[in-house]
Amino acid sequence: MHTLQLNMQDSAFDKVIYLLNNLPKNDVEIIEEKSTLEDWSFLESEIDIGINSGINQTSHEEIVNNIKKKYA
């Protein structure tokens, strides 16, 4: 058995999933890993780095709220 890992835009993802879903179920197993954006804990350290750099004075809470508005 082979394993592939792909990073793709949403527009391509829909097409690839359609193709994979139409292959024989006993030949292909789809294991989807969610985007790291869905794991908010990943963003905690990235936000802290940005805040500690002093480049942006936006609060941690404001940054998280903006991200949630855009992607959630």
CA distances to 4, 37, 44, 45, 61 from 51, rounded to whole Å, are 36, 19, 11, 10, 11
One-letter amino acid at 11 equals S
Residue 56 has, within 13 A of its CA and on its CB side, a CA count of: 11
State pLDDT tens for residues 59-68.
878 887 888 8
Domain ranges for the chain: 10-71
- pTM of the complete model: 0.41
What is the sign, positive or negative, of the torsion defined by CA atoms of 56, 58, 62, 66?
negative
pLDDT at 72: 64
State pLDDT tens for residues 18-46.
998 999 989 988 887 665 555 666 677 77
